[in-house]
A and B are shown apart, each in its own frame.
Chain A
């Protein structure tokens, strides 16, 4: 099935490719190749070649791209589609041996050689371990994307965008795989890619031009190609994986040589494999069993993985770029020679990387991979380590990188996947042992942070550091500065409480300050856990530093009353004013509705919080009153002259005493399970609103730029009228500059919008899950206290009956 389906898609892709862009030309090659298995191999090679070409001189496609960057952007999208279609054929070829894929995947996992190599490279880099795995695949990708990667590195975001587009494409491709409406699918993909990825694409194009005109375009092309490859790979990848298994075996056996060859020969296949590898478990299982359709689905899943790899590749790309030219040739040769083996090798590599990453969630991986990709050193190392592999790696990596970005996009799109991943987060941070350090007003609380993780990006499985409260605030400041404007929901830490802390500082160990410290400790723990559960934030070097580094530079400007704090307040005030003055015509109903939802939820949560607080207060009152009643009952019992009644009354006093305990526990339960959770969400909702504000700001910037552009145009028209050619030139330059800015800002805005959207969806999921869990906890506590209550009263009942 897979083969047939794959085959059918290839023709379509070919047509599409041809129709479409420069990449189309490549695609055409691919498609041609696709026709036969050999062709496929060759096709994959062409892809690689394309990639390569893009890398070195951006070959034909790159040139084309170069010419009309913006157009290219659009085109690239199209191209990806076509390339995808091309890839599909390749995938089909691969799919034929898909049975083997399972083996291959296994091999891949086995293929420690590659992994080891990668690891060694990583070790050299001393970067994250995750990077290493990624590096391996990424190396390949790097080779291919090398040039792209540079650009990509600069603009990881761009890569993501491409990834998103890729994901769209993938989805399309997956849908289209069976029907091969390659052209259709391609077009669909293109459209989608345009829609979803247009921004990214634009970004890429912009970025690329900005960085290096030639390189950027190639990068774009590459990106697209990779995406296409990934897409095509992804669907077919499953199929390809089957053959790739064999190839994997070969690779393992062959070692680096094989790798290099495979890379060249089957960069596409490798990519596919890599994708598969990432998806290893899920993908493999599905791909193997399922033919084209399943593979498609798997592919999607794989895609994220692939995209990750791709990102890695892209990261590596910088270094790889150098290698890339050489690699492309190698790849081609290799492809021609051993397409299948190369594929297998790549797949193995990917699988390895996947395996490593796969343990962690795909999202995390994807992000991690992206970050890794940024780290060019690894890529370089890898290149060094594997000259041959690098070439192959480049092709693969390029594919992988494309796939990864795509996959990332897919992941974003496919929330369900995220959820699965979310559930599996392999990092747990606990905040314990609050300890008062120092005396008087200079005293502060230090907390012990213990991180337990399976993530390879950390050096150790468990590690412990000591942090003080202001460090947590400092982390938040850094994160919100970095990620806030991009539309990420940065979890806020608990507020500074001068009153509470002063009590702790001055007061002795009384219950209210202990209560305060415990509340804060728990809040900090939840805060950190939210940060590390966020796939993007986890990748932030500041987060890692915060978790790992022994000594942190003292966080400044977190003091509420300091000058910085004052500045912050002023900033907030100006923000509030500008917020009121900005009148945004909301074009997106979704955002409008969400904002309203968030605002009303915020209100409700605040109300709820006040209510729960009053519940806690009343419960404490009840506990107090119960205690005094118990005392009074005991007195009454002692005054009672009827022995049995006196006994019963003192028993009642005891019961009431225990009830008091229960009420107290219940009050604590109300506080910690309920009130604190709600307080958290009030803060988080504030963060959500902040992302909406950031989006609005991005929009405002865009609008301002548009206004400026409009003015420039008017000036130009005036100058034209006044016939002042000397100034006209200047005006034209300015217009071009502002045009670029407008596009840039528009892209920024779209990107922020997309991120906000994604983040809000994620936030809502998290919220539902969180509340469910907490309410379960709350209920469990309630249940327990009810059971206790039953026990107490049942014990009392015979006493009451014994009164005679």
Chain B
């Protein structure tokens, strides 16, 4: 069991930042070496190693919670200066519900299972729980690493505070009004997006990028859902094998049991690796594309603002009233729009490169793992095939 567990979860520990390609900058290295799970809260230890003079010490660790990450993300999104950047997607809220629920179900079904079956299922669930935990840590880490590797975002004051402040940030939790406000904002944003989508694009690049991202987003969302389903049914199969081998065991078909145990292990690994390499990749890029879409939205918003300011300027000129003000506003909008377009272009291009590299890396790794698992299981089966004398049932 320990073997399998280690196997299933090790990749996530070793191959961190699998989903993102980061140009590692030795001046600011961030990792999360440890995390503590207390009830619903997860406490991450954020460790920073830096040569930058803006930090007081070259090496320090601070405790952070998931909400702190969300706060950091929100402040970044709300910062006007970063409107032209793809803000790395906030890490998803740690979700231990599914393994917890399964554990609960398992406890209920304990009576119907043999002891070893139960133990095995429990071990399997613990492994799954651990994997979820590690994955959670990983996405948080990736978020920080992407910030640290970004030339602009790494210099953000809030980010530095987040990294350096050695007390609890005690970020104020959003209250109900704010939650509603956030929800309302989202609604407005969506409605706005629809309105804005009618705006004629002035730049071919953005026009293309917009259609591509919209299309790509719906596709990748679909793929993610399907991949999740696929890995889930794969896990079901692995679970079935656990039960089968336990039943075989109670039929005292030892050798056959070993066979099924090993088959189960392989199936389980295939499932967890697929989950890690493929589903996670897709999931991450789904969110990343959402971030890129947000960028496009902000740019489109700016474009609309600019056009509106043009109209306002025309009106002002017509009325000969407040012309300088309108001119100024129009200039500002234009500037903002240009700036957004410029940095947006850069961001999107680099995003594309990053995506391709990440896909490449993950696909290769997945193919290699698939081959490896298939080979392992063929070897197991071959050994069984040739040493079947004792097989009975």
A612 touches B215 (CB 8 A): no
Question: Does B374 interact with chain A (Cβ within 8 Å)?
Answer: yes
B223 touches A636 (CB 8 A): yes
CB distance from B370 to the nearest CB of A (A): 4
User: Which residues of B in the span 178-229 have a Cβ within 8 Å of any Cβ on A?
Assistant: 212, 215-216, 219-220, 222-223, 226-227, 229
CB distance from B89 to the nearest CB of A (A): 19
CB distance from B351 to the nearest CB of A (A): 12
Map CB proximity to A onto B320-355 as digits: 1 under 8 Å, 0 otherwise. Answer: 000000000000000000000000000000001001
B251 touches A608 (CB 8 A): yes
B233 touches A625 (CB 8 A): yes
CB distance from A489 to the nearest CB of B (A): 17
B393 touches A767 (CB 8 A): yes
Question: Does B392 interact with chain A (Cβ within 8 Å)?
Answer: yes
A626 touches B230 (CB 8 A): yes
Question: Does B155 interact with chain A (Cβ within 8 Å)?
Answer: no
A633 touches B223 (CB 8 A): yes
Hey, which chain B residues are within 8 Å of A779, CB to CB? 259, 381, 384-385, 388
Question: Does B378 interact with chain A (Cβ within 8 Å)?
Answer: yes
Question: Does A710 interact with chain B (Cβ within 8 Å)?
Answer: no
Measured CA separation A622–B363 after assembly (Å) = 20
Map CB proximity to A onto B363-378 as digits: 1 under 8 Å, 0 otherwise. Answer: 1100110110011011
Measured CA separation A282–B370 after assembly (Å) = 54
A801 touches B360 (CB 8 A): yes
| Interface 9-residue window, one of B44-52, B156-164, B168-176, B239-247 | B239-247
Hey, which chain A residues are within 8 Å of B230, CB to CB? 622, 625-626, 629
Hey, which chain A residues are within 8 Å of B370, CB to CB? 789, 793
A801 touches B393 (CB 8 A): no
Question: Does A797 interact with chain B (Cβ within 8 Å)?
Answer: yes
| Interface 9-residue window, one of A112-120, A419-427, A638-646 | A638-646
Hey, which chain A residues are within 8 Å of B263, CB to CB? 782
A618 touches B385 (CB 8 A): no
Hey, which chain A residues are within 8 Å of B355, CB to CB? 642, 645
Q: A621 contacts which of B236, B363, B367 (Cβ < 8 Å)?
A: B236
CB contact under 8 A between A797 and B393, given known A625-B229, A775-B388, A803-B356: no
CB distance from A401 to the nearest CB of B (A): 38
Question: Does B297 interact with chain A (Cβ within 8 Å)?
Answer: no
Hey, which chain B residues are within 8 Å of A625, CB to CB? 226, 229-230, 232-233
Question: Does A648 interact with chain B (Cβ within 8 Å)?
Answer: yes
Map CB proximity to B onto A433-449 as digits: 1 under 8 Å, 0 otherwise. Answer: 00000000000000000
Interface size on A, residues (CB 8 A): 53
Which residue of the partner chain B has the closest CB to A796? B367
Hey, which chain A residues are within 8 Å of B243, CB to CB? 611
Hey, which chain B residues are within 8 Å of A794, CB to CB? 367, 371
A632 touches B226 (CB 8 A): yes
B241 touches A648 (CB 8 A): no
Interface size on B, residues (CB 8 A): 51
A642 touches B356 (CB 8 A): yes
Q: B367 contacts which of A619, A768, A780, A800 (Cβ < 8 Å)?
A: A800
Measured CA separation A553–B159 after assembly (Å) = 90
B251 touches A640 (CB 8 A): no
CB contact under 8 A between A636 and B359, given known A612-B244, A775-B391, A796-B367: no
Question: Does A628 interact with chain B (Cβ within 8 Å)?
Answer: yes
A800 touches B360 (CB 8 A): yes
Hey, which chain A residues are within 8 Å of B352, CB to CB? 641-642
CB distance from A451 to the nearest CB of B (A): 29
User: Which residues of A in the span 600-657 have a Cβ within 8 Å of any Cβ on B?
Assistant: 601, 604-605, 607-608, 611-612, 614-615, 618-619, 621-622, 625-626, 628-629, 631-633, 635-636, 639-642, 644-645, 648-649, 652
Question: Does B154 interact with chain A (Cβ within 8 Å)?
Answer: no
A786 touches B378 (CB 8 A): yes
Which residue of the partner chain A has the closest CB to B389? A772
A645 touches B367 (CB 8 A): no
CB distance from B207 to the nearest CB of A (A): 13
CB distance from B27 to the nearest CB of A (A): 29
CB contact under 8 A between A611 and B368, given known A625-B233, A629-B227, A775-B256: no
A622 touches B237 (CB 8 A): yes
Hey, which chain A residues are within 8 Å of B216, CB to CB? 636, 639-640
Q: B223 contacts which of A605, A629, A782, A787 (Cβ < 8 Å)?
A: A629
Measured CA separation A789–B266 after assembly (Å) = 13
CB contact under 8 A between A608 and B375, given known A776-B385, A782-B263: no
Question: Does B269 interact with chain A (Cβ within 8 Å)?
Answer: no
B212 touches A639 (CB 8 A): yes
Hey, which chain B residues are within 8 Å of A648, CB to CB? 359-360, 363
A632 touches B219 (CB 8 A): yes
Measured CA separation A652–B355 after assembly (Å) = 16
Q: B378 contacts which of A622, A631, A771, A783 (Cβ < 8 Å)?
A: A783
B377 touches A786 (CB 8 A): yes
B251 touches A622 (CB 8 A): no
B392 touches A771 (CB 8 A): yes
Measured CA separation A797–B356 after assembly (Å) = 15
A629 touches B229 (CB 8 A): yes
Q: Which of A629, A636, A641, A776 has the most CB of B within 10 A?
A: A629
B381 touches A800 (CB 8 A): no
Measured CA separation A611–B244 after assembly (Å) = 6
CB distance from B369 to the nearest CB of A (A): 9
Question: Does B42 interact with chain A (Cβ within 8 Å)?
Answer: no
Which residue of the partner chain B has the closest CB to A640? B216
Hey, which chain B residues are within 8 Å of A786, CB to CB? 374-375, 377-378, 381
A601 touches B251 (CB 8 A): yes
Hey, which chain A residues are within 8 Å of B265, CB to CB? none
Question: Does A498 interact with chain B (Cβ within 8 Å)?
Answer: no
User: Which residues of A in the span 784-804 have a Cβ within 8 Å of any Cβ on B?
Assistant: 786-787, 789-790, 793-794, 796-797, 800-801, 803-804
Hey, which chain A residues are within 8 Å of B222, CB to CB? 632, 635-636
CB distance from A704 to the nearest CB of B (A): 38
Hey, which chain B residues are within 8 Å of A793, CB to CB? 367, 370-371, 374
Q: B219 contacts which of A621, A636, A797 (Cβ < 8 Å)?
A: A636
CB contact under 8 A between A645 and B374, given known A618-B233, A640-B216: no
Q: Which of B223, B259, B368, B377 has the most CB of A within 10 A?
A: B223
Question: Does B152 interact with chain A (Cβ within 8 Å)?
Answer: no
Measured CA separation A803–B362 after assembly (Å) = 11
Hey, which chain A residues are within 8 Å of B359, CB to CB? 645, 648-649, 803
Q: A636 contacts which of B220, B259, B382, B385 (Cβ < 8 Å)?
A: B220
Measured CA separation A787–B243 after assembly (Å) = 25
Measured CA separation A787–B227 after assembly (Å) = 23
Hey, which chain A residues are within 8 Å of B227, CB to CB? 629
Additional A-B contacts beyond A635-B219, A644-B356, A779-B384 (20; CB < 8 A)? A607-B247, A608-B248, A615-B244, A619-B233, A622-B233, A622-B237, A636-B219, A639-B219, A642-B355, A642-B356, A768-B391, A771-B392, A771-B393, A775-B259, A775-B393, A776-B391, A782-B263, A783-B378, A787-B374, A800-B363
Give 9 pairs: A residue, B residue, CB < 8 Å, sorted on A.
A601-B251, A622-B236, A625-B229, A636-B216, A642-B356, A644-B356, A771-B391, A789-B370, A800-B367
CB-CB nearest 6 A-B residue pairs: A803-B360, A771-B393, A629-B226, A622-B233, A800-B363, A615-B240
